[in-house]
Structure 1
Amino acid sequence: MVQLVGAGVLCLNPVGEVLMVRRADNGQWDLPGGRVEPGEETQAAALRELREETGLNGTVPELLGVFSGSDTLHTYPDGNTVAWVTVLYLCQGVQGVAQAADDAREVGWFGLSALPSARSAVTERYFHTLAARRPV
């Protein structure tokens, strides 16, 4: 097992919906994000992953939280397991039309009370952190 640094973005549109992507590797819904490349700033990585997975360009995001622990373990189809330390940003401004790309099978906007049920434990933590920060 290896530990990697990831960066992701929780995007909210003007009507309060959140952008989610369905992962191609396990079919679960998650937030756009991925590995931070060596020497890359986490904020730049989060915006790059947003663009790669959805085609959207984000505005300067604000830090929402840093997530690590047993619920961040992810086993890939090839059997490799990664322990992620994910820096998550909140972005309330995006430009473009969302389209699934890269390793995202689907992309969609969901109301916070109508999120898709196929989510990981760490994705649940992301939404609990958002709710604690700003009542929904």
Structure 2
Amino acid sequence: MMNYIQTIRKLIGNEMLMTVGCGIIIEHENQILLQHRKDRDVWGIPGGVMEPGETFLETAVRETFEETGLIVEQLKLFGLYSGEEGFSEYPNGDKVFSVQIIFYSNCFSGELTHNTEESHEHRFFPRNNLPHLNSHQERFIQDWVNQMTLPVIK
């Protein structure tokens, strides 16, 4: 099944596309869940792009389940992120500008899946020992590290 992004990419090629990304900072025992991406050698939070008709919450929960196998509940708004850090160019040349809606939860169930289509593994990390982060997600992960007052709006 072709998704919205694939459909639009057929029409515009690699040109700039605006997207809405939704992700979840999942915390367990004062540690954050990060995924090691396959497309880039970086770590970031689970999440992805909103499909037409979805709510922010539906997108975050769906993407997190697809990527991790976890069912996340009791989401709270963590932050809204926009600005220059939202620009990205993928290895295939696709350009995007993404506005990010980030949630927080420490309530989840299910079995953590590791080797998925998009990631090598998932692991919980303490605030003082984070791996090489996805530069496009680093600001909200650092806001979690610094225990910013929520919601964060940047």
* TM-score normalised per structure 1: 0.90
1:54 matched residue in structure 2: 68
Query: Please, which of 111, 114, 128 is the counterpart of residue 113 of structure 1?
Result: 128
Measured against aligned partners, the alpha-carbon deviations of 1:20-39 in whole angstroms (never above 9, x if no partner) come to: 01111111101001000001
Q: In the TM superposition, what are the counterparts of 1:1-136 in structure 2 within 5 Å?
A: 1-13=16-28, 15-100=29-114, 101-116=116-131, 118-130=132-144, 131-133=147-149
Q: Aligned equivalents of 1:128 and 1:49: distance in 2?
A: 21
Measured against aligned partners, the alpha-carbon deviations of 1:63-109 in whole angstroms (never above 9, x if no partner) come to: 01111121122222211011110100001111122113231222111
Q: Would you say how many aligned residue pairs link Structure 1 and Structure 2?
A: 132
For the 8 Å contact 1:64–1:129, the answer to whether it is kept is: no
Which protein has the larger Cα radius of gyration, Structure 1 or Structure 2?
2
Q: Aligned equivalents of 1:102 and 1:133: distance in 2?
A: 34
Q: Aligned equivalents of 1:51 and 1:62: distance in 2?
A: 17
Structure 2 unmatched ranges of 5 or more: 1-15
Pairwise CA RMSD of aligned residues?
1.5
Q: Helix, strand or coil: the match of 2:112?
A: coil
Give the percent of matched residue pairs that are identical in Structure 1 and Structure 2.
Answer: 30
| CA drift at 1:5 | 0.5
